[in-house]
């Protein structure tokens, strides 16, 4: 854990770029982790939801490339320690042995923590972009936020309507 930092903020724009670089790194890490999570999932609908989120993540990375260009910056990633940790937790749960419905419930739990981190990141970045007058960038960040919210909602529905009930009452022994 870094107690000291080399970061010096000299403008709000600088903080905004720092946030974009963090999201860029987070999405890159997630794009690498999602295929493994989808493979570990047992329920075909969960597999599909995770694979769809991979497609969205790849699209979001392209939007981020464009966002950097919009503000005259080269796309740059700054290590997102939070996403590293969230993915490490997700991988531990995805590798767990035992009942497949319980493991699916665990994968959803991890995926939703990831979604919520992304929602917080995009929401803040959108507000910063608006404040700085980058209106088109703000719109694009809002689209990413909407996608994360929809992905999160889909996982809640899948968990509550199907996977959690099966996880709570395993049929086989």
Q: Per-residue string for binding with Fe ion, 75-114, x by CB under 5 A?
A: -----x-x--------------------------------
What minimum distance in Å lies between the beta carbon of 17 and Fe ion?
A: 14
Comparing CB distances to Fe ion, the nearer of 102 and 108 is 108
Comparing CB distances to Fe ion, the nearer of 23 and 46 is 23
* 76: three-class secondary structure by DSSP: coil
Comparing CB distances to Fe ion, the nearer of 22 and 152 is 22
What minimum distance in Å lies between the beta carbon of 22 and Fe ion?
A: 4
> Count of alpha carbons within 13 Å of 78, Cβ hemisphere only?
12
**Can you tell me which of 16, 17, 21, 22 binds Fe ion, judged by CB under 5 A?**
22
**Can you tell me which of 21, 64, 107, 118 binds Fe ion, judged by CB under 5 A?**
118
**Shortest Cβ contact with Fe ion: which residue?**
80
* 116: three-class secondary structure by DSSP: helix
Q: Per-residue string for binding with Fe ion, 39-58, x by CB under 5 A?
A: ------------------x-
Q: Any contact of residue 150 with Fe ion (CB under 5 A)? A: no
What minimum distance in Å lies between the beta carbon of 95 and Fe ion?
A: 23
Contacts 24+ apart (CB under 8 A), 139-148: 140/63, 140/66, 140/67, 141/67, 143/63, 144/60, 144/63, 144/118, 145/119, 147/56, 147/60, 148/115, 148/118, 148/119, 148/122
Exposed e or buried b for every residue in 100-130, given b needs 16+ CB within 10 A? bbbbbbbbbebbbebbebbbebbbbbbebbe
């Amino acid at each position: 854990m870094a107690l000291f930092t080399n970061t010096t903020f000299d403008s709000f724009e600088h903080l905004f770029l720092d946030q974009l670089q963090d999201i860029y790194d987070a999405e890159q890490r997630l794009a690498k982790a999602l295929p493994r999570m989808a493979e570990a999932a047992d329920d075909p609908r969960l597999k599909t939801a995770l694979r769809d989120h991979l497609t969205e993540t790849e699209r979001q990375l392209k939007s981020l490339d464009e966002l950097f260009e919009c503000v005259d910056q080269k796309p740059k990633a700054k290590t997102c320690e939070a996403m590293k940790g969230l993915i490490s937790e997700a991988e531990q749960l995805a590798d767990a042995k035992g009942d497949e419905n319980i493991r699916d419930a665990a994968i959803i739990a991890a995926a939703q923590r990831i979604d919520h981190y992304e929602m917080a990141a995009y929401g803040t970045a959108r507000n910063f972009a608006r404040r700085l007058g980058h209106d088109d960038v703000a719109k694009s960040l809002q689209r990413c936020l909407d996608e994360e919210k929809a992905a999160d909602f889909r996982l809640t529905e899948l968990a509550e309507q199907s996977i959690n009930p099966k996880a709570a009452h395993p049929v086989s022994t």
